[in-house]
């Protein structure tokens, strides 16, 4: 019985690790563009955590998402394209977007903390 309990606890730990792990960031190649197509719910938004990881851009194509902690250096504009509802972009830095309209963010933001120092970001409109 003791061995069975340990196996069940180990299986539960694996399941919980999959639920709590940052989505997408670990699977990205260095400097790849993050495409987010899996969202959450109002009660449990899906969190995509970058922990400062460098990506070439971010596309959000779903609802109820938190994008947290990515770095974009000289991305093709827009660096971040938001095509979902209830999307929070926070702790993300976009530096020197180029091409297109020269913008760092493709949609207006209402939540989160973001920093766009070298482009026409929300603070310059």
Domain membership of residue 82 as a residue range: 23-124
Q: Is residue 34, in this structure, part of any structural domain at all?
A: yes
Query: Contact at 8 Å (CB) between 69 and 40?
Result: no
pLDDT interval class at 103 (50, 70, 90):
low
How many domains does one find in the chain? 1
* Average pLDDT of the chain, as a whole number: 71
Q: Is residue 61, in this structure, part of any structural domain at all?
A: yes
pLDDT beyond 70 at 99: yes
Give the pLDDT confidence of 57-98 residue by residue, as tens digits.
999 999 999 999 999 998 888 889 989 899 999 999 988 888
Q: How far apart are CA 35 and CA 113, in angstroms?
A: 20
Q: Is residue 45, in this structure, part of any structural domain at all?
A: yes
């Amino acid at each position: 019985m003791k061995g069975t309990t340990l196996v069940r606890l180990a299986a539960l730990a694996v399941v919980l690790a999959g639920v709590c792990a940052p989505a997408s960031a670990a699977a990205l190649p260095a400097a790849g563009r993050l495409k987010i197509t899996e969202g959450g719910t109002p009660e449990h938004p899906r969190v995509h955590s970058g922990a400062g990881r460098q990506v070439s851009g971010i596309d959000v194509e779903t609802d109820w998402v938190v994008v947290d902690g990515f770095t974009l250096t000289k991305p093709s504009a827009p660096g971040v394209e938001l095509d979902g509802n209830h999307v929070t972009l926070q702790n993300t830095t976009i530096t020197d977007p180029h091409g297109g309209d020269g913008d760092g963010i493709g949609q207006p933001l209402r939540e989160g903390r973001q920093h766009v120092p070298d482009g026409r970001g929300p603070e310059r409109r």
